[in-house]
Amino acid sequence: MRFEPSFLDDLRDRIPISEVIGKRVSWDKRKTNVSRGDWWACCPFHGEKTPSFHCEDSKGRYHCFGCGVSGDHFRFLTELEGVSFVEAVEQVADLAGVPLPAPDPQAARREKQRASLIDVMEMATVFFQEKLQAAEGAKARAYLRDRGMSGRTIQTFRLGYAPDSRNALKEHLASKGVEKSQIESCGLVVHGPNISVSYDRFRDRIMFPIVNPREKVIAFGGRAMSSDIPAKYMNSNDTELFHKGRVLYNFPQARRAAQGADGAGTVIAVEGYMDVIALHQAGVTNAVAPLGTALTEDQLDLMWRMTSEPILCFDGDSAGQRAANRAIDTALAGLQPGRSVRFATLPEGKDPDDLVRDAGRAPFDDVLRNARPLADMLWFRETRSGVFDTPEKRAELESRIGGLMASIANESVRRHYQQDMRDRLNGFFDTSSSQGARRGREGGYGSYRKGNQRSGPRGQQAGKRYAVSSRLAQSTLVAGATRAPALRESVLALTLVNHPQLLTTEFDDAAAIEFESAALRALLGVLMNQCMKEEAVDREEVRAAIRVAGLAETVETLEKQVRYTGLWTATAEAALEDAQAGFGQALALHNRTRSLKMQKLELERDLAVITDTGDEDAMPGLLNSLRSVQQEIDRLEQQEAIIDGFGILSGRVRGAAGQ
């Protein structure tokens, strides 16, 4: 049904948008100004604790500053509840007490045809379900049972079986009065000018119904029972109901879970139907899957409607790595403030189904906790296999990363990514230069040294590193990137280097550390890679891997810093239990400081928003919260400074005692 713009405008004017939205959210009393028709709430499209979802009655619009969704009365209903546009208009018209206009005949016919195709797909779904439970579905039932699927799970996902017959479904639908053209329009048969008689598209396959946001079946995926079939998984072809690149398997259930407590506000993308179903059975109900193709921009946008930072989970094999690399490029173009992705990598040879089948969801939760930001994954991809021992190769790396940054459409995000990558490049070229020309041809990452000259260009002495220009070397950008790391970061990193046994016993905590120092991020990558290679990590092997990566000078700097402050638990001489205790204390301080800084950024963002909107009532509370967080940050930094000073003093005392 097509509605005239004047009719839609009249509905918007009659019903405040807050009345439509208010039935589905709880307004925040602190930030909302009822008299001005200015409303705030936690966003219903993604999980959050601080209200960033805003709607204005005067404009008839809503916008979330967290995930970026925006629209009017009708779009809110279509995106949140999955209703059609016609149904959304009907709901608003009912609220306003306004009758709908007479339907357009052509639009009505199209809507009726579409509805009839939905009916045909429902009939096919029931047929497949019945066949799964019949005698001919015994093999399929046994397969599902072997995969650990319970009867309840099979019913929840409406799994079925397509018989091994060319015409079983076609004949069944024809006997129910379904027209040949409808069966063809649904994509249930293979037909065309070169095919004299159409035949069932799905034969001898376990069937996975694919639903739209309103949970109506619009397509199928089929898993072949025979090992001789080249295509193990096959999807419906694109139809009037179904466009493969715009649909996610399990979207409606995952959206509900993401908005509820069990989803914790996020969505997880895995690779296949069985992964989604196995995770659901293990209690992870917020998982979706693309339909046999690389993740598309439309599918990623669907996830961003549910959460600001979905987690993309890929298998640990080479195919999973290729899929992750494609997803990195896809995600870059769509990044916006507050909208990104994280990457979780499964152990090699394992998929989600394998992880949860025997041990439940705990191993999979561990994988999710170690999910890495997009920026880390991009950096790792571009630097992991290269040898940057010449200026030309370093320039090539810089140019390649610069091209990737240019693909980010949002100007603000692009600027921050360029800054982040610049910091990483400067830290990488500088800290990897310790081996210099000596390691250049051996595969190290050393930068060039002017070692044969007594003096270089003005302001540069003999032996000066040329990883960056002299002008750039004086900038605050490089000064910030190359200064010594924070003491707590140095303690964490050096403790792991000197006591690599902790990489095993404290694996989850170690893998989740997010260093501010680019050099330490690179060092942690080397340590974790070494841990994944060896069951028992040896200190000498770790040191050798650090030398190969060109990070020996970084470790040398850490040792000088730690020994100067007298924090002996991070040294190689410390007993393992003392090192473990010191590591735990430093990690707690590090995590607490980072958490407070994130809170500060969020409060500053909220303060900027209410400053723009003129909401003076909410400002005192935000300022008090911001002041409290800053005081706690200052207290922790002072505590670290005291520890630093005490360590220096105790080190000098021990030195004097030994003289």
Spell out the domain ranges in the chain: 5-96, 104-242, 386-482, 487-658
Q: Which CATH class is domain 104-242?
A: alpha beta
pLDDT at 205: 96
Q: CB-based contacts of 451: which residues, under 8 Å, 6+ apart?
A: 436, 437, 462, 463
pLDDT of residue 223: 94
Per run of 10 residues, the mean pLDDT along the chain (length 659 residues) is: 74 88 89 86 84 87 87 90 86 88 66 78 96 96 93 96 95 92 94 90 96 90 89 90 92 80 71 93 94 86 85 84 90 89 88 84 90 92 81 90 92 93 84 41 32 34 34 34 68 92 81 81 83 71 87 88 80 87 84 77 69 63 76 66 40 38
Yes or no: say if 220 and 208 are a contact pair by the CB < 8 Å rule: yes
Closest CA to 169 of 129, 224, 135, 208: 129
Buried b (16+ CB within 10 A) or exposed e, 369-380: ebbbebebbbbb
CATH of domain 5-96: 3.90.580.10
**What is the DSSP pairing of strand 189-192 with strand 217-224?**
unpaired
Q: What pLDDT was estimated at residue 255?
A: 82
Q: Which two tokens stand for residue 1?
A: 């049904």
Alpha helices in 474-517 (DSSP H): 476-482, 487-498, 502-505, 507-511
The pLDDT of residue 125: 97
447, 467 in Cβ contact below 8 A?
yes
Q: Give the separation between CA 400 and CA 408, rounded to whole angstroms.
A: 14
pLDDT, position 53: 92
* Residue where the block lists tokens 């320039």: 395
Which element (helix H / strand E) includes 472? Answer: helix 470-473
CA torsion 192→195→199→202, rounded to 10°? Answer: -60
Strand extents, DSSP E, 523-627? none
Q: Which residue in the block uniquely carries the two structure tokens 């439970």?
A: 133
- Phi and psi for 100 in degrees, rounded to 5? -75, 150
- How high is the pLDDT of residue 505? 81
Q: What is the per-residue pLDDT for 636?
A: 65
Residue whose C-alpha is closest to residue 246's, from 284, 296, 210: 296
Which pLDDT score is estimated for 655? Answer: 41
Work out whether strand 53-56 and strand 38-41 pair parallel, antiparallel, or are unpaired. antiparallel
160: alpha, beta or left, given left = phi > 0 and alpha = psi -120 to 50?
beta
> What pTM was estimated for this model as a whole?
0.57
Query: Nearest to residue 202, comparing CAs of 243, 160, 240, 238?
Result: 160
Please name the amino acid found at residue 113.
Q
Alpha helices in 264-317 (DSSP H): 273-281, 297-306
